[in-house]
Amino acid sequence: MDLNKRYTPQTWPDHPETATLEGKNKFVGFWLLLAAETVTFASLFATYLALKDKGPSGMEFTAAGLFELPLVFAMTMILLTSSLTSVYAIYHMKNHNFKAMQAWLGITVLLGLTFLGLEIYEFNHYVHLGFGFTNSAFSSAFYVLVGTHGAHVVFGLSWFIALMLRNAKRGLNMYNAPKFYLAALYWHFIDVVWVFIFTVVYLMGVIG
């Protein structure tokens, strides 16, 4: 692969992410990784459902009593929006418009950071109520499920930031186009998982 080859929007391929063998390999490999991630989260959800509201005798915490929807609803909206902005970024990547891509990625990162901040606030709030990690089986299952998602958000954000900084001077080429594409794909996956968390943990938790 020649890094110095200059592309214009006209010579840039329609699907730069799979235009090279390396890109194709990354693409297939990443989807497989997402399959493994899906199984991981399925396992965490199953555990959470099994341990929901379970604790030492006399434990006061229940999902219905603990969770409140307004904050998590806001978080959901923010994360969904960030998925949309990452779509715009990849749209510009495919049109070989580096600046616009970076800008939309920047917005995505800001939204992601906001989400993360709210999540930290939320956890902090529960801990102050006495619902810490070691409080009960319920609390352990909750923090590990939602926390694993949070760790994915951190990783996704770091990935975006690293890509943006690394390529700031280099611009788009066939070497990094698949990476941008896959980082965005990862972000969508994180988003989908959150939708399930919102539904299973919070909505179903509050409703009972």
CB 48 within 8 A of CB 145: yes
Kindly indicate which of the ranges 25-33, 89-97, 102-110, 200-208 contains the residues binding other proteins, using the contact rule CB under 8 A: 25-33
Q: Which residues of 42-68 are buried (b: 16+ CB within 10 A; e: fewer)?
A: eebbeebeebbeebeeeeebebeebbe
Residue 8 near residue 163 (C-beta atoms within 8 A): no
Contact 110, 176 (CB under 8 A): no
Angle between helix 137-167 and 177-197 (nearest 10)? 160
Residue 51 binds other proteins (CB under 8 A) = yes
CA atoms within 13 A of residue 107's CA, in its CB half-sphere? 17
Tell me the window of 38-46, 62-70, 92-100, 191-199 that interacts with other proteins (CB under 8 A).
38-46
Instruction: By CB under 8 A, tell whether 7 contacts other proteins.
Output: no
Q: How far is the CB of 155 from other proteins (least distance, A)?
A: 9
To the nearest whole angstrom, how small is the minimum distance from the Cβ of residue 169 to other proteins? Answer: 12
Considering only residues 127 to 156 of the shown chain, the ones binding other proteins according to CB under 8 A are: 133-134, 136-141, 144
Q: Is 86 in the site for other proteins (CB under 8 A)?
A: no
Residue 40 binds to other proteins (criterion: CB under 8 A): yes
Contact call for residue 37 and other proteins (CB under 8 A): yes
Q: Residue 5 contacts by C-beta under 8 Å, 6 or more apart in sequence? A: 173, 174
Looking at residues 146 to 205 of the shown chain, list those that interact with other proteins (rule: CB under 8 A).
162, 166, 175, 179
Neighbours of 16 (CB within 10 A): 21
Q: How many residues bind other proteins (CB under 8 A)?
A: 36
Compute the least distance from the CB of residue 134 to other proteins, in Å.
4
Using rule CB under 8 A, residue 98 touches other proteins: no
